[in-house]
A and B are shown apart, each in its own frame.
Chain A
């Protein structure tokens, strides 16, 4: 019996122990978090606080910082963000607590020691602050970190001279003139002392040649002042002399020269860079591209030619060849860049045809471009360059020469080469464009559907879908167009450059095409016919159709855009008298395109026809009648520039 009792007691004790241990285990699991988890949570909060700060929600950020600091009063990040905000909000009492607490944990922390001085200073006790800084600065043996911290602190207190003095003292103490160069450089730039700033930047660059990239960015931010340029350039040249064969420094100078439009000198410097970097060709090709970007075609062409000629750039020759052809194209386009069709829903894929007008096959630039592409095809067969060259040739034929058949041949050849996926996609899309250009809309839909199915989910899907929508537009399938455009908006997303094009088309369709009575519906058919004709580059026919439309349906909704289109065609055919009449019609009504049309008149007269007087006339009408037009600033600028030219002023 006793034994049994004992057994029961033991059993009971065992059970109790198990229950106890399990309970403890579970409780511990619930409340215990691993340090990693805690750290992760705090990091998330920290990021959130920074986000709040960026959004200007300082109060919320401050609350989080306070929490973070309370949780981990030794974390330097939490401390610095928190104290920064507290200083900003002048919450000195809290600051005192925070700094004391932090120093309690890290009594030698230099940031906190500096902050304590800053607190004294902010409270008005400058003497105590100075004594404090001096004491601890000395105690730290002028440590770099303390110096930097003190320097920043003094800048934040707007004690600029003292700040500069701190650096000077530190340099003297350590006997090193390159200390804190970047701090001082940025500081001098902020104060507008550019020469001093450059000197410091160059010291900074000297420390590590990779720093020159940063230095370059900073120097490029300086004001556009030629005298300043000369001083800076001389400093840089001196630096080049002192530190020989540093390509980054030459690159810096090239940037500087480019900035101040000394392109030849920039090219020279870049050549040096190339030679120092074993003539990879990258720097010169980049420079050529930059030159093209800023419209310096001649310099670009020269540079490409140099690359092609120099045997050391052998590897870069194909790219240079394509670049050169591109330069010719761009130069040609720059001269022919004023098409009336660009003004109706500017830059909209659905309304602006991609054709370039007024260039013949005998044009110098196009001839050069053709020959270069031909040479690429001959000299570099079966390479990605061939596909690219073929594609470019096709583009020239399609967009400039409007040679649909020729273009198709080249697109097909490029497609067949199959070496470059990007080119292949472009060719597939272009073939859809060719179908539109031919007016073969019935063939267009199956072609696009087939390829969309084939390339679903790839980048090519979007341009194909856009063409499909364009096809619906030209065919007048307006209900389908609206539905499809909604789908397409979803496919594109707001970040896509064609998103606004689709919205404009949608809005245009709702405003002009589907509203109104039966007259408007008839007129819309004609209008869409004219649109297709414009896309086919059949401009005379388009003009005829629009004239017919405006004669028969002049009061319909579609008459407004139709008149604008007609005006564009008349301007294209340089029919100034007729265009003025058409424009007057537009101005007499309340056309939403009126200010655009006026701007177009002025712009074309000004830049295409070179008739500033005629342009100024329209500009002035625009300013008078549409003072809120988006173009007003640009027009005022132009008019001001015209006024500065004496003969123009007289004429005006």
Chain B
């Protein structure tokens, strides 16, 4: 042993001592900690088991697991301590211990480590180191360490802390265990006996009182349960049916009993009552009564009932099949019911029991049974069925039978809605609304003709009102009833009503009739007087308005002047102005009403064919002018004045007043113009009336002549009647004289009208012996001298005819003269306009050519001023012309205004020595004049074309011809479509013809477009024609082709209708009696039938949808209501 070894041994010993101490520490500390764990884990497991009652395998696993860990816990410190002790742990090697010591004891520091390392190097004999030095060093360290107690570096404090922890845990767990000793005792017992099973304690029990039992299908079943122990708040009940599961909850009574009604049971049921635990602190999961079974034996049962209802044929209702869920049957008396029922079991017998006592036996076949009966009264019934075991069904359902009675039909007259006067068309436009639940058998127009002059000859008769579809339960029907066959004379009356019959075969058809109305055939006198009365009324109203406006003009002027003197507007002045505004507004409204009145008059006279289309057209223009007379400018001026008055702004009032005055002046002038035009039209219309009256008188006289000839001399009564008719002719002739005289006087107002000529015609007629001869005819008829009367009547007729010819000639000349006069005036205005235009154009050039520095420029300006004055003169002529015709509105002169303004500009520019700008202005003026001239020419041409009826008639003829041609093409196409031979060539020929017709149509339309705005309904024909041509060219005749052809034809015919020219029906055969003034009949609604048709279509559509009868009734009522409202509105 060297010195080094000795020294090292000293160190090693010291270090070994330390390692032993450390080993002890590790052992003790490990054991204490293992104990802590054991106590803690054991306590936790015991607690959980105490609550949860783990099952045996779980408990076994817990036990095994716990044991295993305990062993590990205790073995670990022992092994570790041993390893340290034998220096098998690097962490506790000499070197590591030296380092720990060095850290703890600063006096040693790294020297112990260094010593150990040096010693190790000497052992390894590494070169470069001095052994002596190493020895010395080890020795020094060995010496030094002796004085240190290395055990101090062991953390003994930790051991103490662990021990304290152990103590605390031991105390806590022991305390808790002692406090719940039974709980932990039982728990420990179960844990330490892992192979044994322990019962979980339950707080109560549920006992099924009913248990398992058997019942009949359909019987009501009640099951009961008894709870003992702690009675739960609710228990669950589960019944398992074959096809479903029933879960319900019930509350036990105080005694813990629960009764559950399962109702009628039809199948086997398994049931149980139970309570489930959802708390983790209670060991039990489910407390059940255990499952029981109810076994069911089946009864016969009616599964389905099918009821077929067959109403009587007249109702037009189809058979209806109802299912068993409908317990109420609405039936029409006489309906037959066929019932079929299906049972769940094979049946032995089945019956239907009526409440009235009757029992109907059904035919049974296996599970089905069927039977039938007819219903006449309201009743109730049910079914009783028996199975093969004579077990019957229970609680049969009760079916109710309700009856629907066949109601009375309803007939309402929609049009006319009041008494009417017949027009020339001799038609009564009848419109009825009829309704019945099951349709109609017929409708009749019942009428009575009351002859005015022979009251005893009243005729009562009826005719059928056509009903297209008798089955429709609600209908609106329109029928134009021509009364021309009733031989009506003027002033005769037709009293009529419509009766409708339903189709009830049981009680016989029931009927309903509309209100009774009268249609009167007015005399020509009535119509004309009516017309004139209205016309005079309009003229009077117009005059009144004009008078008022003229008076007001003075007031306005006065206020204007006063305002100039004193700008302060007084309260009175303001009121006056407000009144004037109001008056003007009223005047506007009145004019609008007058326009409506004119419209009514036009409508009426058109229906009665009182005047020709030309006169009516003028009325139409007049009416339109009345409508438009209140210009937007006037309205604006009124509004501005009103606003200014409200603001009381003097300046504004003054300006607005001036504007208002100007516009009102124009307004008055326009009314004046309208009234003048009305006067003109009135004269033209009077001339027309004279001719019309003469035509009427001539015809009536001719009829009298014929009647005289045809009446035997012996029939004095008839001759007296003819004498009466002659008397009316005589009197109407006198009326005619008055009309002529009045017309002649009216013409005097207009210098160029042939007043004198007309008067001389009148004198000529008056001086003839026509009146005398009429009187003689009448006397001869009274005396029964037929021959004398006949010859006189002929003579009268001849004279009448002559006079008629003359008057027709007069009328033609009169119209032509009027038109010529107008055209001449037009030409003059146009000529003058063009003169102005030419001079203005020349002047424009002159201005351009004049140097700006020349004093001639001012001369040119003077010339411009002259032209401007000439333009004013033309404007004056234009205004005058506008008083004569509707064809020219003062608006045409608007261009003149622009021209005048441009001329003023030119003058100003010339004054400013700007000839270039002035020349431009002058040219602008020329252009404006030219434009106006063009407008004037267009207006004139339009007027001229409208004045000639020949073009129109030609057009009508062509239309008629084309319709004929189209008819031919249609017929042939239809034949070919049916498959004749040689089709192809024939179709090509037809295509060519159709093509030709298409071209004719085009030409016609072009002509029409050029001549007037009358279009008829030709739109769309061309396209249809093109399609037809295409089809025919492709050798095909489709259904569409034929439809198109038919449409073309209809439109051609419609176009003629819409462009209807005069086609007077000479229905008046005699004229009678005194002047009778009557209100004209209320016209039919403008949308006649249109809205009602829509309503009807909607209704029919609704009924087709297949609603229940209640709904149908409701829909019907709704429709009635709408229609009534519609009627009321129209009234």
- In angstroms, Cα B830 to Cα A432, docked, is 30
Given contacts A346-B838, A347-B842, A592-B828, contact A260 B931 (CB under 8 A): no
Given contacts A495-B927, A499-B930, A503-B930, contact A294 B834 (CB under 8 A): no
Whether a CB of chain A sits under 8 angstroms from the CB of B853 is yes
- The interface-forming segment of A116-124, A216-224, A386-394 is A216-224
Whether a CB of chain A sits under 8 angstroms from the CB of B850 is yes
Closest 3 CB pairs of A and B: A290-B851, A255-B853, A500-B837
Measured CB to CB, the closest approach of chain A to B921, in angstroms, equals 12
Q: Which of B835, B852, B858 touches A346 (beta carbons < 8 Å)? A: B835
Whether a CB of chain A sits under 8 angstroms from the CB of B209 is no
- In angstroms, Cα B841 to Cα A399, docked, is 22
Q: Which of B836, B838, B852 touches A217 (beta carbons < 8 Å)? A: B852
Measured CB to CB, the closest approach of chain A to B138, in angstroms, equals 62
Q: Are A495 and B839 in contact (CB under 8 A)?
A: no
Interface residues of A (CB under 8 A from B): 89-90, 216-217, 220-221, 224, 255-256, 258-261, 290, 293-294, 345-348, 489, 494-495, 497, 499-501, 503-504, 506-507, 511, 592, 628, 630, 633-634
Prevailing SS type, chain B contact patch: helix
Whether a CB of chain A sits under 8 angstroms from the CB of B911 is yes
Which single residue of chain B is at the shortest CB-CB distance from A266? B853
Chain A residue numbers with a CB within 8 Å of B927 are 494-495, 499
Q: Are A500 and B834 in contact (CB under 8 A)?
A: yes
Given contacts A294-B850, A347-B842, contact A592 B827 (CB under 8 A): yes
Whether a CB of chain A sits under 8 angstroms from the CB of B708 is no
Within 8 A of A (CB), among B1099-1120: none
12 pairs, A vs B, C-beta closer than 8 Å: A89-B652, A293-B850, A347-B841, A497-B844, A499-B927, A500-B834, A500-B930, A503-B837, A503-B937, A592-B827, A630-B836, A633-B869
Prevailing SS type, chain A contact patch: helix
Q: Which of A294, A495, A499 touches B854 (beta carbons < 8 Å)? A: A294
Which single residue of chain B is at the shortest CB-CB distance from A292? B849
Chain A residue numbers with a CB within 8 Å of B930 are 494, 499-500, 503
Q: Which of A89, A261, A633 touches B651 (beta carbons < 8 Å)? A: A89
Which single residue of chain B is at the shortest CB-CB distance from A628? B873
Q: Are B838 and A500 in contact (CB under 8 A)?
A: yes
- In angstroms, Cα B831 to Cα A633, docked, is 19
Chain B residue numbers with a CB within 8 Å of A497 are 841, 844-845, 926
Apart from A259-B853, A500-B930: 18 A-B pairs, beta carbons within 8 A:
A89-B652, A216-B853, A221-B911, A221-B913, A224-B858, A256-B853, A259-B854, A260-B855, A290-B854, A293-B854, A294-B850, A347-B842, A494-B928, A499-B927, A501-B838, A504-B834, A507-B831, A630-B873
Q: Are B851 and A258 in contact (CB under 8 A)?
A: yes
Which single residue of chain A is at the shortest CB-CB distance from B650? A90
Chain A residue numbers with a CB within 8 Å of B933 are 500, 503
Within 8 A of A (CB), among B809-843: 827-828, 830-832, 834-839, 841-842
Q: Are A503 and B934 in contact (CB under 8 A)?
A: yes
Q: B891-913 toward A: CB 8 Å interface, digit per residue (1/0)?
A: 00000000000000000000111
Within 8 A of A (CB), among B851-890: 851-856, 858, 866, 869-870, 873
Which single residue of chain B is at the shortest CB-CB distance from A252? B853
Measured CB to CB, the closest approach of chain A to B923, in angstroms, equals 6
Given contacts A221-B911, A294-B856, A633-B866, contact A489 B934 (CB under 8 A): yes
Chain B residue numbers with a CB within 8 Å of A221 are 911-913
Given contacts A255-B853, A500-B837, A500-B930, contact A220 B913 (CB under 8 A): yes
- In angstroms, Cα B840 to Cα A497, docked, is 10
Q: Are A293 and B849 in contact (CB under 8 A)?
A: yes
Q: Are A220 and B831 in contact (CB under 8 A)?
A: no
Q: Which of B842, B870, B911 touches A630 (beta carbons < 8 Å)? A: B870
Most chain B CB within 10 A, of A90, A220, A494, A499, is at: A494
Measured CB to CB, the closest approach of chain B to A268, in angstroms, equals 15
Chain B residue numbers with a CB within 8 Å of A633 are 866, 869
Q: Which of A290, A345, A348, A507 touches B830 (beta carbons < 8 Å)? A: A507
Q: Are A500 and B926 in contact (CB under 8 A)?
A: yes
Q: Are B838 and A258 in contact (CB under 8 A)?
A: no
Chain B residue numbers with a CB within 8 Å of A90 are 651
Which single residue of chain B is at the shortest CB-CB distance from A58? B655
- In angstroms, Cα B937 to Cα A336, docked, is 36
- In angstroms, Cα B839 to Cα A300, docked, is 27
Q: Are B851 and A261 in contact (CB under 8 A)?
A: no
Given contacts A224-B858, A494-B931, contact A506 B937 (CB under 8 A): yes
- In angstroms, Cα B852 to Cα A293, docked, is 11
Q: Are A220 and B931 in contact (CB under 8 A)?
A: no
Measured CB to CB, the closest approach of chain B to A344, in angstroms, equals 12
Measured CB to CB, the closest approach of chain A to B652, in angstroms, equals 8
Q: Are B836 and A507 in contact (CB under 8 A)?
A: no
- In angstroms, Cα B933 to Cα A506, docked, is 11
Chain A residue numbers with a CB within 8 Å of B836 are 630
Chain B residue numbers with a CB within 8 Å of A345 are 834, 838
Chain A residue numbers with a CB within 8 Å of B850 are 293-294
Chain B residue numbers with a CB within 8 Å of A224 are 855, 858
Most chain B CB within 10 A, of A260, A293, A501, is at: A293
Q: Are B854 and A630 in contact (CB under 8 A)?
A: no
- In angstroms, Cα B846 to Cα A294, docked, is 10
Measured CB to CB, the closest approach of chain B to A466, in angstroms, equals 15
Given contacts A221-B911, A628-B873, A630-B873, contact A258 B853 (CB under 8 A): yes
- In angstroms, Cα B915 to Cα A221, docked, is 12
Q: Are B853 and A220 in contact (CB under 8 A)?
A: yes
Measured CB to CB, the closest approach of chain B to A330, in angstroms, equals 11
Given contacts A294-B854, A503-B933, contact A495 B923 (CB under 8 A): yes
Q: Which of B838, B866, B928 touches A347 (beta carbons < 8 Å)? A: B838
Within 8 A of A (CB), among B377-397: none
Chain A residue numbers with a CB within 8 Å of B651 are 89-90
Q: Are B834 and A503 in contact (CB under 8 A)?
A: yes
Chain B residue numbers with a CB within 8 Å of A220 are 852-853, 913
Measured CB to CB, the closest approach of chain A to B964, in angstroms, equals 30
Q: Are A294 and B851 in contact (CB under 8 A)?
A: yes
Chain A residue numbers with a CB within 8 Å of B911 are 221
Chain A residue numbers with a CB within 8 Å of B858 are 224
Q: Are B841 and A500 in contact (CB under 8 A)?
A: yes
Within 8 A of A (CB), among B902-955: 911-914, 923, 926-931, 933-934, 937
Q: Are A293 and B851 in contact (CB under 8 A)?
A: yes
Chain A residue numbers with a CB within 8 Å of B926 are 495, 497, 500
Q: Are B937 and A507 in contact (CB under 8 A)?
A: yes
Which single residue of chain A is at the shortest CB-CB distance from B837? A500
Within 8 A of A (CB), among B782-803: none
- In angstroms, Cα B851 to Cα A294, docked, is 8
- In angstroms, Cα B929 to Cα A499, docked, is 11
Which single residue of chain B is at the shortest CB-CB distance from A633? B866
- In angstroms, Cα B287 to Cα A161, docked, is 123
Q: Which of B839, B849, B854 touches A258 (beta carbons < 8 Å)? A: B854
- In angstroms, Cα B835 to Cα A345, docked, is 8
Measured CB to CB, the closest approach of chain A to B1066, in angstroms, equals 34
Which single residue of chain B is at the shortest CB-CB distance from A260? B855
Which single residue of chain A is at the shortest CB-CB distance from B924? A495
Q: Are A346 and B931 in contact (CB under 8 A)?
A: no
Measured CB to CB, the closest approach of chain A to B658, in angstroms, equals 13
- In angstroms, Cα B849 to Cα A208, docked, is 30
Chain B residue numbers with a CB within 8 Å of A217 are 852, 912-914
Chain A residue numbers with a CB within 8 Å of B854 are 258-259, 290, 293-294
Chain A residue numbers with a CB within 8 Å of B839 are 346-347, 630
Within 8 A of A (CB), among B950-983: none
Given contacts A89-B651, A507-B834, contact A634 B855 (CB under 8 A): no
